[in-house]
């Protein structure tokens, strides 16, 4: 069922939570709200659910104005960050609770409960109490209780944030499969760029209560419309450096080099250069290096190493494949590949992206 919000705004205690948000959600599709903590994702979900009434704007579902409609009358299910389960109910009774409120007959109820439990792989735990479940199992239970309602709109507010890495990976894969097979409109929020890409669907990038870009996940990642989107959709954030274009050359951070093909004819004068961390590499022994900085932090994350270094009053981040520890305070000579960089105008709006191969790796 088509679900739309038009010019929605929310202000609480003089603080703007949502500002002029207009979105349309189509049935059977997945939408991922991506933004930092405080971007307005939870506020938007609460407005969609009817838990918070907006100060301005409207919510419309299949032509019906829902703006002032009570929560219980809306065809919506909500999964929260925390494990919200009835502690004195068994897993079976937790899942069955929404159906019992509908006075569903026992045979149909039983079939639906077991089917929902099977979808999230907890059908062997139906007799247990929530306190006897792991964190991952408790969140699966909360998701099953939402799924069993078969609501037209399913809202999930960072549902994996409290799980460890392995559990997040497992449950994320299960959710992608469930969403593909269902007919509900799914709105899923996250702070993690990688999760937005893995979930796919349509990404809605939010910042300070506003929607700043909407589109297919891979397309938004490859073509961030602004510096702000690029900073949000890259982890670690893209390096953004002031530059200047003239006479087919670009100058940035003391480097003067030929203007890459994808940037030619886009701007003359002041600009901003977006340098993805993987487009910075250590200089070889034979190279002088473009920059000579000092390491402030080195993070080893599985199969990649992120080297934070200071140069020219900025902190830069370089991504290296593999494990390459570097001591804090050590020298760091690097080279930069402008052909793999993004070009923004002086106000931060996108002018040029690297070619398909470079963008795909970004």
CB 343 within 8 A of CB 227: no
DSSP alpha helix (H) spans, the chain: 41-49, 91-101, 106-119, 135-147, 165-181, 193-199, 217-222, 227-232, 356-361
Percent over 90 (pLDDT), the chain:
74
The yes-or-no verdict on residue 39 having pLDDT over 80 is yes
- Of 50, 33, 133, 53, give the one whose Cα is nearest residue 87: 133
Q: What local confidence, expressed as pLDDT, does residue 46 receive?
A: 94
The model's pTM: 0.90
CA distances from 89 to 51, 92, 96, 126, 336 (A): 25, 8, 10, 10, 58
pLDDT tens digits along 16-33: 999 999 999 999 999 999
- What pLDDT, in 10s, does the model give residues 136-159? 899 999 999 999 999 999 999 999
**Per-residue confidence band for 211, with pLDDT thresholds at 50, 70 and 90:** very high
Residues with Cβ within 8 Å of residue 228, at least 6 apart in sequence: 207, 212, 348
- At residue 312 the predicted structure's pLDDT band, cuts being 50, 70 and 90, is confident
pLDDT tens-digit map of 46-82? 999 999 999 999 999 888 899 988 888 888 999 998 8
Give dist(CA 10, CA 162) in Å, integer: 27
Find the angle CA(273)-CA(279)-CA(283) to the nearest 5 degrees: 115
Please tell me the least confidently modeled range out of 21-35, 37-51, 182-196, 345-359.
Answer: 345-359
Q: How far apart are CA 54 and CA 11, in angstroms?
A: 8
Residue 362 has pLDDT above 90, yes or no: no
Q: What are the structure tokens assigned to 324, written together?
A: 């390459």
Q: Could you tell me which residue, 122 or 182, shows the higher pLDDT?
A: 122
Distance of CA 257 to the CA centre of its chain: 35
Asked whether the predicted pLDDT for residue 231 surpasses 70, the reply is: yes
pLDDT of residue 73: 86
Query: 194-199, long-range: CB within 8 Å, 24+ apart, which pairs?
Result: 194/235, 195/32, 195/160, 196/32, 196/34, 196/221, 196/233, 197/221, 198/172, 199/30, 199/32, 199/172, 199/175
Q: Alpha-carbon dihedral of residues 77, 83, 85, 90, nearest 10 degrees?
A: 120
Cα 66 from chain centroid?
A: 27
pLDDT at 360 over 70: no
Q: Which fold has domain 3-224?
A: Rossmann fold (3.40.50)
Cis-peptide into 89, omega within 30 deg: no
Per-domain boundaries in the chain: 3-224, 229-361
- pLDDT in the model for residue 356: 53
229-361 carries CATH number 1.20.1560.10: no
Nearest to 339 by CA among 235, 254, 264: 264
User: Could you tell me the CA-to-CA distances from 357 to 227, 233, 332, 340, 343 in Å, in that order?
Assistant: 20, 18, 27, 9, 16
Q: What is the pLDDT of residue 84?
A: 83
Q: Rounded mean pLDDT of 27-49?
A: 95
φ, ψ at 357 (rounded to 5°): -65, -45
- Per-residue DSSP letters for 79-96? E-SS----TTS-HHHHHH
If you count them, how many residues does the chain have?
A: 362
Whole-number pLDDT of residue 166: 84
DSSP summary character for residue 5: E
Condensed to tens digits (0 to 9), the pLDDT of residues 243-281 reads 999 989 999 988 899 999 999 999 999 999 999 999 999
Sign of the C-alpha dihedral computed for residues 161, 166, 167 and 168 taken in this order: positive
Q: How far apart are CA 145 and CA 153, in angstroms?
A: 14
């Amino acid at each position: 069922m088509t679900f739309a919000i038009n010019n929605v705004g929310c202000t609480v205690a003089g603080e703007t939570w949502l500002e002029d948000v207009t979105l349309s959600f189509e049935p059977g599709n997945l939408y991922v709200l991506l933004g930092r903590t405080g971007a307005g994702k939870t506020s938007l979900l609460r407005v969609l659910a009817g838990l918070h009434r907006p100060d301005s704007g409207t919510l419309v579902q299949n032509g019906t104005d829902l703006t002032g409609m009570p929560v219980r009358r809306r065809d919506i299910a909500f999964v929260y960050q925390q494990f919200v389960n009835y502690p004195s109910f068994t897993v079976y009774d937790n899942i069955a609770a929404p159906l019992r409120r509908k006075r569903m007959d026992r045979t149909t109820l039983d079939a639906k409960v077991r089917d929902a439990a099977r979808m999230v792989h907890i059908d062997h735990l139906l007799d247990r109490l929530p306190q006897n479940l792991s964190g991952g199992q408790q969140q699966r239970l909360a998701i099953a209780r939402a799924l069993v309602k078969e609501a037209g709109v399913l809202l999930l507010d960072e549902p994996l944030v409290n799980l460890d890495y392995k559990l997040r990976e497992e449950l994320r894969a299960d959710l992608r499969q469930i969403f593909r097979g269902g007919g509900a409109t799914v709105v899923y929020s996250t702070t993690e760029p990688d999760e937005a890409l893995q979930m796919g669907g349509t990404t809605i990038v939010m910042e300070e209560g506003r929607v700043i870009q909407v589109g297919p996940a891979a397309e938004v990642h490859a073509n961030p419309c602004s510096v702000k989107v690029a900073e949000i959709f890259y982890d670690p954030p893209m390096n953004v450096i002031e530059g200047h274009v003239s006479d087919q050359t670009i100058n940035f951070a003391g480097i003067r080099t030929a203007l890459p093909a994808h940037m030619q004819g886009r701007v003359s004068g002041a600009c901003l250069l977006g340098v993805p961390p993987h487009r910075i590499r250590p200089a070889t022994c034979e190279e002088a290096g473009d920059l000579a900085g000092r390491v402030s932090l080195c993070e080893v994350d599985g199969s990649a190493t992120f080297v934070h270094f200071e140069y020219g009053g900025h902190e830069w981040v370089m991504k290296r494949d593999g494990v390459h520890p570097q001591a804090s305070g050590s020298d760091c000579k690097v080279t930069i590949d402008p052909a793999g960089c993004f070009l923004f105008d002086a106000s931060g709006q996108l002018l040029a992206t690297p070619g398909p191969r470079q963008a795909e790796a970004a």
